[in-house]
Amino acid sequence: MQNRKSAQLFKKAQKVIPGGVNSPVRAFKSVGAAPIFIQKAKGPWLYDEDANRYIDYCGSWGPMILGHAHKDVLAAVKKTMANGTSYGIPTRLETQLAEMIVAAFPSIDKVRLVSSGTEAVMTAIRLARGATARDKVVKFVGCYHGHVDSLLVSAGSGLMTLGTPSSRGIPKDFVKNTLPAPYNNADAVEKLFAKYPGQIAAVIVEPVAGNMGVVPPKPGFLKKLRTLCTKNRALLIFDEVISGFRLTYGGAQTIYKTKADLTTLGKIIGGGFPIGAVGGKASIMNKLAPEGAVYQAGTLSGNPVCVAAGIETLRQLKTQNPYKKLAVLTEYLCDGMTEQLDRKGIGHKINRIGSMFTLFFNDTEVTDYTTAAKSDTKQYAKYFRHMLNSGVYLPPSQFEANFISTTHKKTHIDQTLQAIENLKL
Ligand code: KE4
Report residue 425's pLDDT band, with 50, 70 and 90 as the boundaries: confident
How large is the average pLDDT for residues 342-363? 97
Query: Please, what are the domains in the chain?
Result: 4-65+322-421 (3.90.1150.10), 71-319 (3.40.640.10)
CA 249 to ligand 1 center in whole angstroms? 20
Backbone φ and ψ of 368, nearest 5°: -165, -175
The pLDDT-based confidence of 161 (bands split at 50, 70, 90) is confident
Where residue 219 falls among pLDDT bands split at 50, 70, 90?
very high
The predicted structure's pLDDT at residue 136 = 97
CA of 148: how far to CAs of 109, 120, 144, 153, 236, in Å? 25, 10, 9, 10, 18
pLDDT at position 163:
78
Q: Catalytic pick from 267, 323, 380, 393?
A: 267
In the residue annotation, 267 being an active-site residue is answered as yes
210 lines ligand 1 (CB under 6 A): yes
Whether the model clears a pTM of 0.85, i.e. scores above it, the answer is: yes
- pLDDT tens-place string over residues 19-71: 999 999 999 999 999 999 999 999 999 999 999 999 999 999 999 999 999 99
Integer Cα distance of 202 and 125 in angstroms: 8
Within 10 A of 17 (CB to CB), how many other CB atoms are there? 11
Q: In this predicted structure, what is the pLDDT of residue 279?
A: 98
* Ligand 1 proximity of 144 Cβ (cutoff 6 Å): yes
Q: Is any ligand 1 atom within 6 A of the Cβ of residue 266?
A: yes
Predicted local distance difference test score (pLDDT) of residue 214: 98
pLDDT of residue 160: 85
pLDDT in tens, 173-184: 888 999 999 999
CA-angle at 180, arms to 176 and 186, nearest 5°: 140
Which one from 144, 323, 369, 380 is the annotated catalytic residue?
A: 144
Q: How many residues does the chain have?
A: 425
Give the model's pLDDT for residue 76.
98
The catalytic position among 239, 261, 368, 376 is 239
Query: pLDDT digits over 280-303, tens only?
Result: 999 999 999 999 999 999 999 999
Share of the chain above pLDDT 70, in %: 100
Q: Determine which helix (DSSP H) or strand (DSSP E) holds 228, and give its type and residue range.
A: helix 221-231
**Nearest-5° angle of CA 3, CA 4, CA 5?**
95
Per-residue pLDDT, 174 = 87
Residue 181 C-alpha to ligand 1 middle, in angstroms? Answer: 20
User: Per-residue pLDDT for 104 more than 80?
Assistant: yes
- Whether 220 shows a pLDDT value over 80: the answer reads yes
| pLDDT higher than 90, residue 165 | no
Nearest CA, atom 9, ligand 1: 145
Residue nearest (by alpha carbon) to ligand 1 atom 6: 146
For residue 171, give Cα distances in angstroms to 104, 160, 322.
Answer: 39, 20, 45
* 368 included as an active-site residue: no
Catalytic: 239?
yes
